[in-house]
Chains A and B, each alone.
Chain A
């Protein structure tokens, strides 16, 4: 009988040409399983006459999916396995960090990203630096342009790695290991900076609502400055590099001081009680200023070898 043979031939083009997005439509339409058996008689001569050049794969493919119970069962088994795996991964990850808190940092939209990049590069005209709250929970970045997010730092980090690879390639010093080295160096510096900030905030008993993710976000904003500096250096040579470095350093220092001042240094209204904050306010100011001064140093350190 040519029916098994036809089933085999129908499997191969289906495996090659089945679009993944149409699968949900295929699986919902279980009513066509019965008529598919009837219509197979119609399609059989079509397949045999088409010969080795199987052009009509899309038309006959969907209906034959139901006629092949093995593929059907395999698909369902695979999707249930995938769901189980996803549940296990979610459970394990939520033991270390809460996914909801992470989702808050990635709730951005285009308008927020454009405004935030403008503020990072030119913060001198931005008036209101307060992070707005809504019944004790901070607003998502979509609604508040002052809220920290993790989307810009992540994208800027990846862009910086790609740009570093390109800059090294221009100088004919590129190899794939250098790319990995550059990436891990930048990541290690961010981790060191976040750890030092956490340690200093703990030692000086600064009770701020800066969580670890907030600090990672504020540390990651320097990658935007780094990208701008490297671009200036690549486009305009060594002089352009120093001009870009000066501009992005000043802008980033201003941004960090204005943003962290709101969070670390308490407002004057709560500071009027007697033994209010035992850590003198100058320590908090020191933390902010040292963080700000550290940014240009690290920008210079991580980008100077890219622009010679």
Chain B
């Protein structure tokens, strides 16, 4: 397995894309990962599932707009250089 830095960047872009396309009301609420189901548990008692939901929600909020630019750049590079 010979990695280049570019393949790492591609893998990262694919993973972040996968997290960003998870729809809030069509999918996440159906499986119990919606934003309204993570409240509760005061004190230091977050648990793994709540942390994951927070992570998914924050990635989606933060990376929506930059991902548009990064994906566009990646597509152009792939078209030009294969």
Binding site for B on A (CB under 8 A): 181, 184-185, 187-189, 191-192, 202-205, 275, 277-278, 301
**B36 near A: Cβ within 8 Å?**
no
**Majority secondary structure, A binding face:** helix
B51–A203 touching, CB < 8 Å: yes
Chain A residues near B3 (CB-CB < 8 A)? 184-185, 188-189
Contacts of A301 in B (CB 8 A): 1
Question: Once A and B bind, how many residue pairs between them come within 8 Å at the CB atom?
Answer: 38
- How many chain B residues have a CB neighbour from A under 8 Å? 16
Q: How far is the CA of A184 from the CA of B52 in the complex (A)?
A: 30
Task: Specify which chain B residues have a CB less than 8 angstroms from the CB of A185 in the assembled complex.
Answer: 1-4
- Chain A residues with CB under 8 A of B2: 181, 185
A277 and B44 CA atoms in complex are apart in Å by: 7
Q: Are A203 and B52 in contact (CB under 8 A)?
A: yes
B5 touches A188 (CB 8 A): yes
Q: Compute how far the CA of A192 lies from the CA of B5 in the bound complex, rounded to whole angstroms.
A: 11
Given contacts A181-B2, A184-B4, A202-B55, contact A278 B48 (CB under 8 A): no
> Is the CB–CB distance between A278 and B5 below 8 Å?
no
Q: Does B82 contact A (CB under 8 A)?
A: no
Shortest C-beta distance, B23 to chain A (Å), equals 23
B32 at interface by CB-CB < 8 Å: no
B contact residues around A275 at 8 Å (CB): 43-45
- Which 5 pairs of residues, A with B, have the shortest CB-CB distance? A188-B3, A278-B45, A185-B3, A188-B8, A203-B51
Contact A205 B5 (CB under 8 A): no
B80 to chain A, nearest CB (A): 21
* Given A202-B51, A203-B51, A184:B5 Cβ within 8 A: yes
